[in-house]
Amino acid sequence: MEQEKLDQMRSTLNKLEDIKNSQESILDKINHVITDLFQHPDKELEKAMEDAHQTASENTEKINEAMEEYEMRINKLETQD
């Protein structure tokens, strides 16, 4: 396997890691808003934040799955060299 291709794939994996970290940060911020809503309830905003949390959680899971699969592909290519 060409080193250049592996380097490019590792770079992509790093970008996926950055996306995952950003998504986790979004989840954390949504959780802060949800916590704040315990003191100042707003049913409409609570529903919106619950929906946003669900979507962000699903996105995080999809990104994790994609990263694992991609990392396995990189590892497989590395062992073929």
pLDDT at 13: 97
| Whether pLDDT at 1 is above 60 | no
Q: Each residue of 32-79: pLDDT tens digit?
A: 999 999 999 999 999 999 999 999 999 999 999 999 999 999 999 988
Q: ∠ CA 33-16-70 to the nearest 5 degrees? A: 135
The residue ranges of every structural domain in the chain are 3-80
pLDDT at 28: 98
pLDDT at 81: 62
pTM of the model: 0.84
Taking a C-beta distance cutoff of 8 angstroms, is the pair 24, 63 a contact? Answer: no
